[in-house]
């Protein structure tokens, strides 16, 4: 097998300069941007400025003076550019879980949904997605709402005239498998069913065309490939054709048409603003706003192209080792069917992951026995793959992963 020239790949990388946008510890190789993105330098500056100058200096005047009040819409409009949506179809707020609750209820109350009850999803979806449907199901009763779970490969064929909505995560958090959302929407719509997409593992790392694909509702987070920081607010998209009849039960005052009239009766704002609930978390929303600027001058096609090169270099480098066959690739073998991660099953996945972290190579573990490597094209370098694989080779060949220190599992893996 040919040796990969990692240094040459870095020299040829049109996104190489983007790494300088991020503050990364010099002794760390970070392959966990699919869980928590790295800190953009401009985010650290903006958070300091927001606290010191805006909050600290201008106090409550900042709601008007620094446009705090319109952050959910202005940040939403910026996110829209990365997911193929119109500016007025996306708003930044709450968490994915809470936004899912809103869109599941919106789908349940959409015109044509009243005589249907099935929310169709995949068994292997991220648990919070399923828990949120189970919550609606328990609240409304199974006569009105029922979660039906199938394997990813059966999803399209399981849609029928009882389906209210298909709830699909574009890129699976465990395996990295990517679903064809456009095809899913085409089939769902042929049964007059709706599509709710979870973009947690795809927003910011590959081109997404929500409008072109005719997706009805979507949610996503900003703390993974959008690099806005732990717990930063999520986003929600509602296709414009659903705006006029849009209903969601979390009728908070920020979703009111005139919140500062303090009227006792709720009157929903027009359009996407109706998805808002309460006061926006201004400091972390400023962080989202600044983090999105890392995408200035970068196309998602470029990001995807580098992601494919990174995953290819990793797979190719791994395959050169005798012990590589111990790692079973659980991600789809064909690059076009996966996101920006590679997941492998190994009986000692947890211990190997901890041994790597101990040597400064951060990957993560998912039960029961998977190790995941996430590749963030804005800051990962090809040279890092070389060093990570050298470390992995040493761990495997010395069997240092059997160290008793790794027997006890940490709470957050």
Ligand X SMILES: Cc1ncc(COP(=O)(O)O)c(C=O)c1O
Which residues of the chain form contacts with ligand X (CB under 6 A)? 95-97, 126, 128-129, 169, 173, 198, 200-201, 221, 234
Return the one option of ligand 3DJ, ligand X, none that residue 94 interacts with (CB less than 5 to 8 A, by type).
none
From the candidates 117, 177, 178, 224, give the one annotated as an active-site residue.
224
Both tokens of residue 82? Answer: 């990365």
Task: Answer yes or no: is 50 a known binding residue.
Answer: no
201 has binding-site annotation: yes
338 bridge partner residues: 177
The least CB distance from residue 412 to ligand 3DJ, in Å, is: 5
- Annotated catalytic, 358? no
- Establish whether 163 is an annotated binding residue: no
What is the distance in angstroms between the CA of the first residue and the CA of the last residue of the chain? 34
Spatial separation of the C-alpha atoms in residues 353 and 363, rounded to whole Å? 6
Nearer to ligand 3DJ, 35 or 163 (CB): 35
- Rounded Cα distance, 128 and 276, in Å: 20
What is the longest distance spanned by two Cα atoms in the chain? 71
Min. distance of Cβ 234 from ligand 3DJ in angstroms? 10
Q: Which of 54, 58, 86 is nearest to 73 (CA)?
A: 86
Q: Say if residue 223 carries a ligand binding annotation.
A: yes
Q: Judged by CB, which is closer to ligand X: 70, or 95? A: 95
| 198 has binding-site annotation | yes
**The entry of ligand X, ligand 3DJ, none that residue 169 binds, CB within 5 to 8 Å by partner kind:** ligand X
Per the rule left: phi > 0, alpha: psi between -120 and 50, beta: everything else, 144 is alpha
Angle at 118 between CA 116 and CA 122, to 5 degrees: 155
- The least distance separating ligand X from the CB of residue 216, rounded to whole angstroms, comes to 17
Closer to ligand 3DJ at the Cβ: 14 or 231?
Answer: 231
Q: What is the CA radius of gyration of the chain?
A: 22
Task: State in angstroms the smallest separation of the CB of 128 from ligand X.
Answer: 5
Which residue in 383, 390, 300, 316 sits closest to 19, CA to CA? 383
Tokens 């449907």 found at: 133
Question: What is the DSSP-derived secondary structure letter of residue 51?
Answer: I
* 126 labelled binding-site residue: yes
The binding site for ligand 3DJ (CB under 6 A) comprises: 35, 173, 200, 412
Q: Which of 199, 352 has the CB closer to ligand 3DJ?
A: 199
Q: How far is Cα 206 from Cα 195, in angstroms, rounded to an integer?
A: 19
271 alpha-carbon distance from chain centroid: 24
Catalytic residue, chosen from 18, 274, 306, 372, is 372
Q: Which residue is nearest to ligand 3DJ (CB)?
A: 173
Min dist. Cβ of residue 94 to ligand X (A): 8
Residue 83 vs 194, nearer CB to ligand 3DJ = 83
Distance (Å, rounded) from C-alpha 396 to C-alpha 373? 17
The verdict on whether residue 279 carries a ligand-binding annotation is yes
Helix, strand, coil percentages, rounded to 5, for the chain: 45, 15, 40
DSSP code of residue 53? I
Q: 95 touches which of ligand X, ligand 3DJ, none (CB within 5 to 8 A by kind)?
A: ligand X
**223 an active-site residue?**
yes
User: What length is written for the chain?
Assistant: 413
Exposed/middle/buried for 207, CB within 10 Å: 0-12, 13-18, 19+?
middle
Nearest to ligand 3DJ of 187, 236 (CB atom): 236
Is 237 labeled as catalytic in the residue annotation? Answer: no
Q: Is 260 annotated as ligand-binding?
A: no
How far apart (Å, rounded) are the C-alpha atoms in residues 200 and 219? 7
Determine which one of 126, 225, 344, 379 is catalytic: 126
Residue 327 beta carbon to ligand X: minimum distance, rounded to whole angstroms: 22
Residue pair 292/79 in contact (Cβ under 8 Å)? The answer is yes
Among ligand 3DJ, ligand X, none, residue 412 binds (CB under 5-8 Å by kind): ligand 3DJ
- Quick one: what does residue 234 bind among ligand X, ligand 3DJ, none, with the CB cut-off 5 to 8 Å set by partner type? ligand X
**Which parts are annotated binding residues?**
96-97, 126-129, 169, 198, 201, 223, 253, 279
Active site residues: 126, 198, 223-224, 372
**Which parts are annotated binding residues for pyridoxal 5'-phosphate?**
96-97, 126-129, 169, 198, 201, 223, 253, 279
């Amino acid at each position: 097998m040919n040796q990969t020239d990692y240094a040459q790949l870095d020299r040829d990388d049109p996104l190489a300069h983007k790494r300088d946008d991020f503050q990364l510890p010099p002794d760390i190789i970070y392959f966990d941007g699919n869980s928590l993105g790295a800190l953009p330098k401009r985010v650290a500056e903006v958070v300091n400025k927001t606290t010191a100058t805006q909050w600290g200096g201008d106090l409550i005047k900042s709601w008007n003076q620094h446009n705090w009040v319109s952050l959910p819409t202005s940040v939403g409009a910026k996110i829209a550019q990365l997911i193929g949506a119109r500016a007025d179809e996306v708003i930044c707020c709450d968490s994915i879980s809470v936004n899912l609750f809103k869109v599941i209820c919106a789908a349940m109350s959409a015109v044509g949904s009243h005589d249907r009850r099935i929310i169709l999803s995949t068994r292997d979806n991220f648990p919070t997605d399923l828990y949120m449907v189970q919550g609606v199901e328990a609240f409304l009763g199974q006569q009105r709402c029922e979660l039906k779970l199938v394997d990813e490969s059966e999803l399209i064929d399981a849609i029928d005239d009882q389906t209210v909505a298909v709830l699909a995560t574009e890129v699976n958090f465990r395996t990295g498998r990517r679903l064809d959302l456009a095809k899913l929407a085409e089939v769902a719509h042929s049964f007059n069913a709706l599509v709710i997409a979870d973009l947690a593992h795809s927003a910011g790392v590959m081109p997404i065309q929500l409008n072109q694909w005719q997706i009805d509702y979507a949610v996503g987070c900003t703390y993974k490939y959008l690099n806005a920081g732990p717990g930063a607010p999520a986003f929600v998209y509602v296709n414009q054709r659903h705006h006029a009849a849009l209903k969601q039960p979390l009728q908070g005052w920020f979703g009111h048409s005139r919140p500062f009239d303090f009227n006792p009766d709720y009157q929903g704002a027009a359009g996407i603003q109706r998805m808002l609930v309460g006061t926006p978390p201004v400091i972390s929303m400023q962080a989202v706003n600044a983090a999105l600027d890392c995408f200035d001058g970068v196309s998602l096609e470029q990001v995807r192209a580098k992601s494919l090169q990174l995953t290819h270099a990793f797979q190719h480098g791994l395959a050169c080792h005798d012990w590589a066959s111990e790692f079973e690739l659980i991600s789809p073998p064909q690059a076009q069917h996966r996101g920006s991660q590679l997941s492998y099953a190994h009986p000692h996945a947890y211990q190997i992951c901890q041994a790597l972290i101990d040597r400064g190579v951060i990957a993560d573990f998912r039960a029961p026995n998977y190790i995941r490597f996430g590749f963030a094209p804005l800051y990962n370098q090809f040279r890092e793959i070389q060093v990570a694989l050298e470390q992995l080779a040493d761990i495997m060949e010395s069997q240092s992963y059997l160290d008793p220190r790794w027997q006890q599992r940490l709470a957050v893996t």
